[in-house]
Structure 1
Amino acid sequence: MPVIHRFDPPERFVAGTVGEPGQRTFFLQARAGTRITTVALEKQQVAALAHRIDELLDEVMRAAGEDVVVPAVTPKDLADDLPLEQPIVEEFRAGTMTLAWDDSDDSVVVEVFPFTEESVIAPDQPEEEISEPEPAEILLVRLRPGQARAFCERAERVVAAGRAPCPFCGGPVDPEGHLCPRANGFKRSGA
């Protein structure tokens, strides 16, 4: 039986980082009272989660009409620019994440499962050989629509705050430049 870190709803659910651009570690953090759960994940996972939550909220707005109140933008009182709660204690590293809309209470449900080597599937692996291992822990967060929009807005800012992309190849540019594949191995500067 897995340990479920349940926040229904959390007082705070944010994405944040520790470290300098190019060396940042990304985290999801949920808090309810003094209980805090922190999960490490990749930058691309943060970006994908924020993008999918935004899409889900937009789909609900279109489908539900006036039946469900979903803000089109982040409500001003829910914007969160505070740093991550300290101390940062990583519960696990995120692997699979699921996302759903629960009609029963008009909430976004986010489930984050730990990364395990057993859950990596080879491209040539037959479907009948695929078995999901039982996770040791799960982060389960239920967000009100306004909270979900606030999460997305902050997550997008956190992702964008890293190194600027190269205008030629799209790869990240360090302050001292980078070896751009579009320049045949010549170093392009960050300026």
Structure 2
Amino acid sequence: MPTIVHGFDWPDRVVVGTIGSPGSRSFYLQARTGPRVVSVALEKEQSALLARGIDEILDDLRATDGNPANVPELTPVELIDDAPLDQPVEPEFRVGAMTLGWDPSTVQIVIEVYPLVDVEQGDPDDDGLVVDLDAAAALEPAEMVSIRIPVGTARAFTKRTLEVVGAGRPLCPLCGAPMDPDGHVCGRPDDL
């Protein structure tokens, strides 16, 4: 069966947002064109990696002689999006893999996300599960999301995403672990 592609070539909106309280937030990547909205669930770490990867591509492009793609150094004010996720949030899938690219013909960042794949084959190991990475790589995903955004929108996306990721629980100044509102057991070694 061919892969269902949820494509957004020039979306009206693309954001990472959360539902829930710090410490129990669920993260979503959401794209919208007109009334069509697609959301996928992802991890906090995936959100941060996505934003940092896009920033790295934009910074490399900006460093190109003459900045031919007109990559802004900072987020254009008119592109800042602090609105909540479009409701209702009904994720198509949980993200397992992501790819980033650059399309010079349209001057756009290309984000592709694929669902988490669960492949069990062969003899179980000590945990009772064997994952065959070759088999997983050979599987054609049932669906994917492809989002293409211009450089200004990409800068706004990374700014918002990093703010959303950073808005979670405060970090312990001693051990660096997130602190819950009802207490924190510090993982700092006593000999420091």
Give the TM-score of the pair, scaled to structure 1: 0.89
Task: Assess, with a 3 A threshold, how the Cα gap between structure 1 residues 62 and 131 changes in structure 2: closer, same or farther.
Answer: same
1:167 aligns with 2:153: no
3-state secondary structure, aligned to 2:63:
helix
8 Å Cα contact 2:119-2:135 kept in structure 1? no
3-state secondary structure, aligned to 1:67:
coil
Partner of 1:58: 59
Partner of 2:90: 89
8 Å Cα contact 1:118-1:133 kept in structure 2? no
Question: 1:115 deviation in Å?
Answer: 0.5
Give a deviation string over 1:143-179, Cα, whole Å, max 9, x none.
0000000000000110011001111221110112211
1:115 aligns with 2:121: no
Q: Among all aligned residue pairs of Structure 1 and Structure 2, give the percentage whose two residues are the same amino acid.
A: 48
Task: Assess, with a 3 A threshold, how the Cα gap between structure 1 residues 13 and 171 changes in structure 2: closer, same or farther.
Answer: same
Task: Assess, with a 3 A threshold, how the Cα gap between structure 1 residues 13 and 126 changes in structure 2: closer, same or farther.
Answer: closer
Task: Assess, with a 3 A threshold, how the Cα gap between structure 1 residues 174 and 144 changes in structure 2: closer, same or farther.
Answer: same
Residues in 2 aligned to 1:180 and 1:69: alpha-carbon distance in whole angstroms: 46
Letter in 2 for 1:116: V
Give a deviation string over 1:89-128, Cα, whole Å, max 9, x none.
1100001000001111110000000001129xx9x98986
Partner of 1:37: 38
8 Å Cα contact 1:14-1:155 kept in structure 2? yes
Matches within 5 A, 1:112-191: 112-118=113-119, 131-183=137-189
Residues in 2 aligned to 1:175 and 1:53: alpha-carbon distance in whole angstroms: 32
Residues in 1 aligned to 2:10 and 2:132: alpha-carbon distance in whole angstroms: 39
Letter in 2 for 1:4: V
Task: Assess, with a 3 A threshold, how the Cα gap between structure 1 residues 125 and 18 changes in structure 2: closer, same or farther.
Answer: closer
8 Å Cα contact 2:177-2:187 kept in structure 1? no
Partner of 1:189: none
Matches within 5 A, 1:11-22: 11-22=12-23
Gaps of 5+ in 2: none
1:72 aligns with 2:73: yes
Alignment RMSD, CA only?
Answer: 2.1
Instruction: Report how many residues are paired.
Output: 181
Give a deviation string over 1:3-33, Cα, whole Å, max 9, x none.
1000011100000000000000000000000
Residues in 1 aligned to 2:65 and 2:8: alpha-carbon distance in whole angstroms: 25
| Larger deviation, residues 125-134 vs 88-97 | 125-134
3-state secondary structure, aligned to 1:91:
strand
